[in-house]
Amino acid sequence: MPLNVSNLYSGYGRVRIVQDVTMSVGEGEILAVIGRNGVGKTTLMKTLVGLLGTLHGTIEFRDQDISRMHASRRARLGIGYVPQGRGLFTRLSVGDNLVMGERVGGIGATNRRRVFQFFPILEERLSQKAGSLSGGEQQQLAFGRILAGHPELILLDEPSEGIQPNIVQEIGRIIQRLRHEEGLTVVIVEQNLELIHAVADRCIVMDKGKIIAELTADEIKEPEVAKRYLAIAT
């Protein structure tokens, strides 16, 4: 099992946000984490990748307990994270941003061609500053940079945020290709219904730091379900 989380708690200082989260993600599965603003989705992702400490509970990656492992070691084990807001080095070039990602996989892990196969625009923009790219291009760079580190599991935090609808569709297609061609396992935090429909095998719903429901991709299509669990105006 790529990811197996039991009774996880985490938060900021004394404030507990993530509470008693138990979840698992199967090999090659695409799991969506949904929920309204501020319910703790990003906090959960940060805890899984090690940017926030685990207060209680366990996180296992391929049967290894990584709950107390440093974020950089988790990344080297094969966990890639595309943060909300993308986390690019905006004053560095596209190429240098990719180098940062490649370092995670260690020397010799350079696989630019593979990254460019998925994101040809990055090759065209190689010497341009990351901050000068469009929102959609920046999201592709954030994604490509993680891919350069050879992940087996990727966590994406709201990749559709601030991106035009046609690029959102493109991101959806890329996520599916990564699963089919590279066997990647994906956890995606999303509020964009179209993207969730397009890619997710299964959805878990968060509210106030807890998982309150689990839905199939078909169930999420019901308008009243979406209204209940997502921050969308209907």
Strands 153-157 and 3-12, sheet pairing: unpaired
* 140: contact with Mg ion by CB under 5 A: no
Phi-psi region of 87 (alpha: psi -120 to 50; beta: other; left: phi over 0): left
The residue (of 15 and 107) whose beta carbon lies closer to Mg ion is 15
Closest contact distance (angstroms) between CB of 123 and Mg ion is 30
Is residue 22 a contact partner of residue 5, using CB atoms and an 8 Å limit? Answer: yes
Which residues are near ligand ATP by CB under 6 A?
12, 17, 35, 37-43, 84
CA distance 176 to 161: 19
Interface region with Mg ion, contact rule CB under 5 A, candidates 67-75, 76-84, 94-102, 223-231 = 76-84
Interface region with Mg ion, contact rule CB under 5 A, candidates 83-91, 110-118, 133-141, 194-202 = 83-91
Cα–Cα nearest to 221, from 209, 230, 208: 230
- Reduce the DSSP state of residue 24 to 3 states and report it: strand
Q: Is 123 exposed, middle or buried (0-12, 13-18, 19+ CB in 10 A)?
A: middle
Contact of residue 78 among ligand ATP, Mg ion, none (CB under 5-8 Å per partner type): none
The residue (of 31 and 104) whose beta carbon lies closer to ligand ATP is 31
CA distance 199 to 218: 12
Closest contact distance (angstroms) between CB of 200 and ligand ATP is 17
Contact of residue 166 among Mg ion, ligand ATP, none (CB under 5-8 Å per partner type): none
The residue (of 51 and 99) whose beta carbon lies closer to ligand ATP is 51
Q: Which of residues 35-64 bind Mg ion (CB under 5 A)?
A: 41-42
Given the rule CB under 5 A, which residues bind Mg ion? 41-42, 84
